[in-house]
Amino acid sequence: MITELELKALTHNDIGTKAKPKRLRDGGGLVGQVGQDRAGRLVVSFSYQFRAFIPSKNKEGITSIAVGQWPKSTLKAIRKQRDIYRLEVNEGRNPVALKQAMALTGKAQTAEIKAQAKKRLIAIDEANARMTVKDLFERWESLALCKRKDKGAEIRRMFDKDVISEMGAMAVEDVKKRHIVAMLDKVSERGVGRMVNLMLAQVRQMFRFALDREWIEADPTAMLKKENFGGKDVERDRVLSESEITALRNKLPLAKLTPQTESAIWLMLSTCCRVGELSKAKWSDINWEKKHWLIPASDTKNGREHLIALSPFAFKQILALKMIQSSPTWIFPVTKQVGTTPKEHLHEKSFSKQIRDRQRLEPLKKRTKAVGILLLSGGEWTPHDLRRTGATLMGELGVDGDVIERCLNHVEPNRMKRIYQRQRTEEAKAQAWALLGERLDMLCNADMSKVVTLNAA
C-alpha cells in the first residue's frame, strides 16, 4: 500500500512519459498516475479500476472511475471514495453508469445517491472501528509478513501463542500500553528474555503498520523499552576452545545423536555455515567433482548465493551422509515413517533441540535421557557457536579478516568497496577452509597433550 511519505517523496522525475506514465498501485483496484497541474505542481490522479460491461465495446473489460487527486485530497479520503465505488460494483452496479445517470436525472436523484453513499461510508467507518487485533494481524500478514522468506510462519506461531490468545478479540483502538505490558510480562515469566524482546519488536511493527494506515491514532508500544522486559540484547561470544573440540569428539559417540546430526555438527564447524542453510541443503547443491557446495540465494540470510569449497575434512562428512542417504533430494530429510521416501527437509530447530537436550541437567518429558553428555568445560554452546568457532580458528591460523568475512558470506559494509572491489576471492576462501579442515582433522585425531594450542594470529 502507498503511504503519504512515499507520495511526498515523489519528484518531477517520476512523472514519466505519455507512452509510459508513472503509475502507483495501492491495492483493491486503486491506481495513481503521477503528473502535474496547470501551475506545474506535482499531483497524483487516482482512479478505481474494476471489471464491468462496456457498451461501446459490447463486452466486459477493465474500466475506471476517478476517485480524487493528491494532495488536494488525502489518501484516506481517496480510499474511502474507492470503497464506496467498490461496494457499488460488489452489488452489481456500475459506478460510471450511475455517475452518468446522476447527471441526466437531476438533483433529486443526485441527492438520493449521495445519501446512499454517505450511508455506505458510515458503514465502512464502523467496520474499521470494529477491527480487532486478530483482524489487524491478518491484514499485516497478508500485506507485509508475506514478503518475508518464511511468509510470516514463525511470527504467526508466536502471535497465536501469546498475542492473539490474549488480546485477539479486542478492538485495535482499545489496546493500551497496559495490555501490551501484561502480555509481555506473561511471556517473561517463562524465562525467555530474548523471546520477549523479539515479541515486543514484532508487536511494535504491527501497530506501526496500523498507524501508517490511520487505523489507529497512537502506537501503544511507543514508550516501551526492551530493557524493561527481556533486558538488553547481549551479543553471544561463545567460542569452543581447541581442547573442547577434542572433548566434543570424545563425547559425541556417547550422546546418542543420529549420524546425520553428528555429521551436521562437524560440517557447521568446518564450513562456518548457518544451521538453517545446512538443514535445507540438497544433494543437487553438491558438485562432487570440484568438491563444492553451492548454497542458493533463497537459503542464505542476505539473499546472495554462497559457494563453499569443501575441505577433505568437510567432504568426508558429506560422503558419510551419502552412505546413509534416505532421500533423493534432501541431505537432511525428515523421516516420518519407516519405508517411505522423505519429502521434507529437517527443520533447523531440530539440530538445536538435540544439542540443547544433551546439555540439560534434567531430561524433558518424552525426550532423550542422555542429558549432560555434550556439556563442555566452557559452558553451554549452540549450533551458531560452531560457526563463530570456525571463523575464530581461521583467524588464529592467519587467515585475513576480509577473507573470513567472505567465508561467512557477510556483505561488505563499505558501499564503495562493495561496488568497485569485486575481485574474485574463491582461491583465498578455499585455502582458508582447507586450513580450517586440516586443524580440525588434527584436533579430532591427535593426542591433545601433544598439540600446541594456537594463539590469535
Pair (27, 174) in one structural domain? no
The reported pTM is 0.58
Is 255 inside a domain boundary? Answer: yes
How large a percentage of the chain has pLDDT more than 70? 84
Is 233 inside a domain boundary? Answer: no
Phi, psi at 422, each rounded to 5°: -105, 25
Q: Which domain holds residue 169?
A: 133-228
Phi, psi at 203, each rounded to 5°: -65, -40
- In order, the DSSP letters of 233-266 are ---------HHHHHHHHHHGGGTT--HHHHHHHH
**Do residues 360 and 312 lie in contact, with contact meaning Cβ atoms separated by under 8 Å?**
no
Pair (144, 117) in one structural domain? no
Point out which residues pair with 295 in neighbouring strands: 306
Is 457 inside a domain boundary? Answer: no
pLDDT above 90: residue 189: no
Pair (262, 349) in one structural domain? yes
CB within 8 Å of 59: residues ≥ 6 apart: 53
- The tens digit of pLDDT for each residue in 234-251 reads 556 789 999 999 999 999
Sheet strand arrangement including 42-54 = 23-27, 30-36, 42-54, 59-70
Using pLDDT thresholds of 50, 70 and 90, give the confidence band for residue 457. very low
- In order, the DSSP letters of 362-392 are SPPTTS-S-TTTT-BTTB---HHHHHHHHHH
Q: What is the pLDDT of residue 40?
A: 85
Pair (60, 197) in one structural domain? no
Sheet strand arrangement including 292-295 = 286-287, 292-295, 306-309
Pair (82, 176) in one structural domain? no
**Do residues 202 and 136 lie in contact, with contact meaning Cβ atoms separated by under 8 Å?**
no
Pair (309, 345) in one structural domain? yes
Domain count, the chain: 3
Tell which phi-psi region holds residue 27, choosing left (phi > 0), alpha (psi between -120 and 50) or beta: left
Query: Which cell numbers in the block locate residue 181?
Result: 505490558
